[in-house]
Amino acid sequence: MSRIESVEVFVASPGRTFVTLRITTTDGVTGLGDATLNGRELAVASYLRDHVVPLLIGRDPARIEDTWQFLYKGAYWRRGPVTMTAIAAVDTALWDILGKTAGLPVHQLLGGRSRDGVLVYSHASGTDVPSLLDDVERHLELGYKAVRAQAAVPGVGGTYGVRKGRVYEPAASELPDEQPWDTEAYLDFAPRYLEAVRERFGFGFHLLHDVHHRLTPNEAARFGKSVEASRLFWMEDPTPAENQESFRLIRQHTTTPIAVGEVMNSIWDVQHLITEQLIDYVRTTVVHAGGITHLRRIFDLAALHQVRTGSHGATDLSPVSMAAAVHLDIAVPNFGIQEYMGHADETAEVFRTGVTFADGMLHPSDEPGLGVEYDEKAAERFPYQRRYLPVARRLDGSVHDW
């Protein structure tokens, strides 16, 4: 019987920092998992090396559910982003191994395709309205059928969500970039540039917008009401989700769909939001919500309550996570949309993924497993670099929420 023979943890920064787990069985089959927690990567790497790897040696790689429960319940200190990201890496690697052993792509193990491709959206942004409109046009010409739009607020020194280079990456400095924030200026400006997008390009594509948790429930309700004519696919993270009951207030005042969940790590974190139908899309991810096994559980709960999937897919998910997400997306019945930004050229030197983009959709590889490879030698050319996400400050100097 095959057993887990070795488990390796790699930390490299090809364009951004990724933590990658590789499990090898006694039969010589390898599986990859993503363990990246943006801005806190080394915490997960240590959790894996010091606490999880010793528990895996000698285990049956086919006992995926049992291993998940063993790592989750056996730790006693449950949930949280570090624990769930570490478990996700193991779980994803074991699904990769199972697919290779069975000679099937992972989506076949999950029940097969429910659709031909996975609808994705990408990020258009600008320092002002004209540059935003140009970027939206560029994405539509690339074939995207859904675009997220963000623009810098005039007179405010920095706005999170605006791309500075070819690839959007917010974690770009060795110390947190402290960016100013003005809620009233944002509430006045954002609805106008979303309206400008619709005026120029019409309604033949999906338009999305990310609020980044930065509004109170009442402010979020006001924003959602003000953009109803722009028919957003969703407004993302309109208010901090710790107080989940606050989403009921937003619901009472606007029909703009709500998407939440990228910073949540378990089914219990989103249970109330889903069962009370306080959101329309759940944005939990493979890498931060316990892997394929647990994310499928979240998606199944969501399906019971007419909530659709909309997983986070920024550049802080490695190509391993993106491949796993697409395999799951194409199988689940309540799929909504998948975020997709692409990675830096350096990332492509380290990871080879079979996921392909065409006609506004992603398509998973039909290779056995996830169809992803990791080039350890190439990764050595990109040593770890510490990077932090930005911090928002109100104009009075106090720290604002994301």
User: What pLDDT sits at residue 183?
Assistant: 94
Q: What is the average per-residue pLDDT within 194-211?
A: 98
Give residues with Cβ within 8 angstroms of 202, minimum separation 6: none
Per-state percent for the chain, helix, strand, coil, to nearest 5: 35, 20, 45
The arithmetic mean of pLDDT across residues 91-97, rounded, is: 99
pLDDT digits (tens, 9 = 90+) for 204-257: 999 999 999 999 999 999 999 999 999 999 999 999 988 899 999 999 999 999
Residue 175: which residues within 8 A CB-CB, separation 6 or more?
388
Q: Which domains does the chain have, with CATH numbers?
A: 4-105 (3.30.390.10), 109-367 (3.20.20.120)
Active-site annotation holds for 209: no
CB atoms within 10 A of CB 126: 19
Rg (CA), the chain: 21
Q: What is the average pLDDT value for the chain, to the nearest integer? A: 95
Residue 212 annotated to the active site: yes
Q: State the Cα–Cα distance between residues 160 and 236, nearest whole angstrom.
A: 14
Contact 66, 22 (CB under 8 A): no
Instruction: Identify the residue whose tokens are 């994301």.
Output: 402
Share of the chain above pLDDT 70, in %: 96
**What average pLDDT does range 46-57 have in this prediction?**
98
pTM: 0.96
Q: What does the pLDDT average to over 75-89?
A: 95
36: confidence class by pLDDT, cuts 50, 70, 90: very high
Tell me the pLDDT tens digit for each residue of 309-321. Answer: 999 999 989 999 9
pLDDT of res. 232? 98
H helices of 29-80, in order, are 41-47, 53-56, 64-74
pLDDT at residue number 173: 73
pLDDT given for residue 402 in this prediction: 64
Cα distances (Å, whole numbers) of residue 325 to 110, 287, 292? 12, 9, 8
**Of 212, 288, 312, 343, catalytic:** 212
Which two structure tokens, joined as six digits, stand for 97? 């191994």
Catalytic residue among 47, 72, 121, 160: 160
DSSP classification of residue 152: P
pLDDT bracket for residue 166 (50, 70, 90): low
Q: pLDDT of 339-367, one tens digit each? A: 999 899 999 999 999 899 999 999 999 99
Q: How confident is the model at residue 398 (pLDDT cuts 50, 70, 90)?
A: confident
